Chain A
Amino acid sequence: MERMSRTTAELPIPVNAARSVARPVLGALEHVGRLGMMLLELGRALPEWRIWLPRTVEQCGNVGTGSLGIVVLTSVFAGGVTAVQAGYQFTGSIPLYLVGSIVAESIILELGPVLTGLLLAGRVGARYAAELGTMRVTEQIDALESLGRNPASHLLLPRVLAGILMLPALVIFADATGLLAGWLASKQTLHITNADFIYGTRYNFRAFDLWYSAIKALVFGAVITIVPCYVGYTAREGAEGVGRATTTAVVVSCVCLLILDFVLAKILLPT
């Protein structure tokens, strides 16, 4: 009994050190396990299409048309800035038509998918985490379960599918508007001809680049919806817990997205 009642401060240093290492590791493993269970539930909910299909269409509207304005605005400026900065660096003997190549490759391979992904991680991820977190702490998710209904098909799957379906569409849109903005900015500031810009755009372009952009968008779409859904779904402790879940969802989604950006580049791009 005496041994049991000792406080943490009284324990030997190696025991305390082991505890301080073990706790976060066990905590992380617990999250991995619970996330795995949630993914399993999503898979099991697939046959319940009568439930998730109409809700997915609704969520697609929220994610897709709701985000279109901000995605266009961001990609226009990203394309324009890329063109101007490329022109600034290309002085002297470097041919100006390469600006087209730089703009196209930067937008399609990197800026289009990553900027759109980060934007949606903030806009959609925060929304999903806050919605589900509020539903959790106000017992709405418990209520849904008490009615014999599956929260995976009612709440989670529609949100995740909307992200997976809509992000590639938004990224293709961002690629196109970014490229167009880069072209117009090049013409205005660098006085590059249309023929030179188009030649430069085609110079390094491979059809796989578009596939690569779409694959990245698909993966990012899954990450920026699955992470917030998990974090919101497991939120605890009232309004403060919902606030914490929202912040965590956005931060973790963004970090995961950047890590996956590197991993996908290493795996998919021949070097």
Chain B
Amino acid sequence: MIELRNVHKRFGRQVVLDGVDFVVEEGQTVALLGPSGTGKSVLLKHIIGLLTPDSGEVLVDGLSVPSLGRKALAELRKRIGYAFQTGALFDSVSVFENIRLGINDDGKYRDLDYCREHVAKCLRLVNLPEDVAKLMPNQLSGGMRKRVGIARAIAGSPKYLLYDEPTSGLDPVNADVMDGLIESLQKELRATSVVVSHDVRGSFRVADRIALLHQGRIRAVGTPEEFMAAKDGVVQEFLERDFQVADSEG
């Protein structure tokens, strides 16, 4: 279980998280919505310990992430897969090496035959052909980079999966394909997931629960149906805006 209790974070004078309470139960997929720049990615980075809160608690499997030592944090991170917004692929090594680095068992990492087989499996799971493994990251399109980033995130068979804006920068067709991919990965891996997004339609498709981050706090949280029925003006405004944008694009 992932739990954030009264988390505060500021950068200089800018308050980004202002008392966030956020819970993700085992096996659930929660979509964290909110306009760009509201701190969704910052919240995600707190879960994996890339950022530490100014105050408040961040718990994963009952462990306080900010208090963990170097080794304990590295061990915890092996249970979490993080798909970065831009893929964040290591550009000096091939796709194969990128995904191989996601294998967190040292024995398996050194076994090249296992690695080849496992990398091919991860690529298949994200709907990419096996020969992509030979390419360098600069030979990939934006959508492929995101998928390779996801393949790397799932290479360690994580218990938790964190997706940072998986559909941002993609055209509607590819965004739809990406949503389908996340949906199928949830079924395949049964991981507990957090999907950070500003795409309402896609989030409704993949998530069990939806949360809205607004002005540094979780403004609303519930099932997609509850979220749609929410009478909160901020929630309604966010939904209306998104659907207007989607309609104008469609």
**Interface of A toward B, CB cutoff 8 Å:** 44, 50, 131, 135, 138-140, 142-150
Q: Which of B181-226 contact A (CB under 8 A)?
A: none
B104 surroundings in chain A (CB, below 8 A): 147-148
Task: Given A147-B102, A147-B156, A148-B104, check contact A142 B74 (CB 8 Å).
Answer: no
Q: Produce 1/0 per residue, B144-171, CB < 8 A to A.
A: 0000010010001000000000000000
Select which of A50, A146, A150 is within 8 A of B82 by beta carbon. Answer: A146
Chain A residue nearest to B92 (CB atoms) is A131
Chain B residue nearest to A134 (CB atoms) is B91
B22 surroundings in chain A (CB, below 8 A): none
Q: How far is the CA of A145 from the CA of B85 in the complex (A)?
A: 16
Does chain A have a CB within 8 A of B80? yes
**Interface of B toward A, CB cutoff 8 Å:** 45, 48, 50, 70, 74-78, 80, 82, 84-86, 88-92, 101-102, 104, 106, 110, 149, 152, 156
Q: How far is the CA of A77 from the CA of B58 in the complex (A)?
A: 61
Assess whether A144 is in contact with B84, with CB atoms less than 8 Å apart: no
Assess whether B48 is in contact with A139, with CB atoms less than 8 Å apart: no
- B40 smallest CB distance to A (angstroms): 15
Highest count of chain A CB atoms <10 Å: which of B48, B50, B88, B152: B88
Assess whether B90 is in contact with A146, with CB atoms less than 8 Å apart: no
Task: Given A139-B88, A140-B89, check contact A145 B102 (CB 8 Å).
Answer: no
- A66 smallest CB distance to B (angstroms): 15
Assess whether A144 is in contact with B48, with CB atoms less than 8 Å apart: no
Chain A residue nearest to B110 (CB atoms) is A50
Chain B residue nearest to A41 (CB atoms) is B70
Q: How far is the CA of A44 from the CA of B70 in the complex (A)?
A: 10
- A237 smallest CB distance to B (angstroms): 12
- B149 smallest CB distance to A (angstroms): 8
Highest count of chain B CB atoms <10 Å: which of A135, A138, A143: A143
Q: How many inter-chain residue pairs (CB < 8 Å) link A and B? A: 55
Highest count of chain B CB atoms <10 Å: which of A44, A139, A145, A147: A147
A144 surroundings in chain B (CB, below 8 A): 90, 101
B92 surroundings in chain A (CB, below 8 A): 131
Assess whether B89 is in contact with A146, with CB atoms less than 8 Å apart: no
Q: How far is the CA of A44 from the CA of B110 in the complex (A)?
A: 22
Q: How far is the CA of A60 from the CA of B74 in the complex (A)?
A: 28
Select which of B50, B74, B85, B152 is within 8 A of A148 by beta carbon. Answer: B74
Assess whether A140 is in contact with B91, with CB atoms less than 8 Å apart: yes
A148 surroundings in chain B (CB, below 8 A): 74-78, 104, 156
Task: Given A145-B50, A147-B102, check contact A139 B77 (CB 8 Å).
Answer: no
Highest count of chain B CB atoms <10 Å: which of A44, A142, A146: A146
Assess whether A149 is in contact with B82, with CB atoms less than 8 Å apart: no
A147 surroundings in chain B (CB, below 8 A): 77-78, 101-102, 104, 152, 156
Assess whether A145 is in contact with B88, with CB atoms less than 8 Å apart: no
B149 surroundings in chain A (CB, below 8 A): 143
- A128 smallest CB distance to B (angstroms): 13
Q: How far is the CA of A149 from the CA of B77 in the complex (A)?
A: 9
A143 surroundings in chain B (CB, below 8 A): 82, 84, 88-90, 149, 152
- A47 smallest CB distance to B (angstroms): 11
Chain A residue nearest to B51 (CB atoms) is A142
Chain B residue nearest to A146 (CB atoms) is B82
Chain B residue nearest to A154 (CB atoms) is B101
Task: Given A145-B77, A148-B74, A150-B74, check contact A139 B84 (CB 8 Å).
Answer: yes
Q: How far is the CA of A66 from the CA of B92 in the complex (A)?
A: 17
